[in-house]
Structure 1
Amino acid sequence: MHPTDPQVTAEFTTEPFHGEGEPPAHAVAARDRLRAAGLEPDFGPLGTSVSGPRGSVLPALSAVVDAALEAGAHRITLQVTVDGS
């Protein structure tokens, strides 16, 4: 991590929602891509969030989008915030 690499938080949802029970495959695939990138997401029933250095989080998000779409997501809503802004 470069000392000037700002911390960011990304929050996203993948759809379609499946209600209660096991999370849909597209949500699990997205979570697993973040873990594979060395990040630890906060995985919940209505979305996922992850924080870390911009240089780590942003490339991982590209893999998340690809994995979620491959696993059946129809829509991905993403918000990225620079921490402290």
Structure 2
Amino acid sequence: MLTQFAACFTDYRDPARIGHSVASLVRQRVYGLALDYEDLNDHDALRDDPLVAVLAESTDLAAPGAGKCTLNRLELSSATVEGRERYK
């Protein structure tokens, strides 16, 4: 179900600089919300939590998940793109 939800997002990030897929970012954010971690700054601590890595379906459970800045870029990407298009 979260895979379908993640498909609703358009990824405007530079492919050469991507460390986390949109699907894993969406899973991490949704499960963080479900675990009552509403603020993005909570994800700087959650990124090292093995349970969150399992929920986000990380391929490397020892690798850190996304931090607050990465998740923030995902949430604000639509507004950023709309702002760019408005000033063309």
Query: Higher relative CO (CA 8 A, sep ≥ 6), structure 1 or 2?
Result: 1
Is the TM value for this pair above 0.5?
no
Which structure has the larger Rg? 2
User: Normalized per residue, which structure has more strand?
Assistant: 1
TM-score, normalised via structure 1 length: 0.36
User: Normalized per residue, which structure has more helix?
Assistant: 2
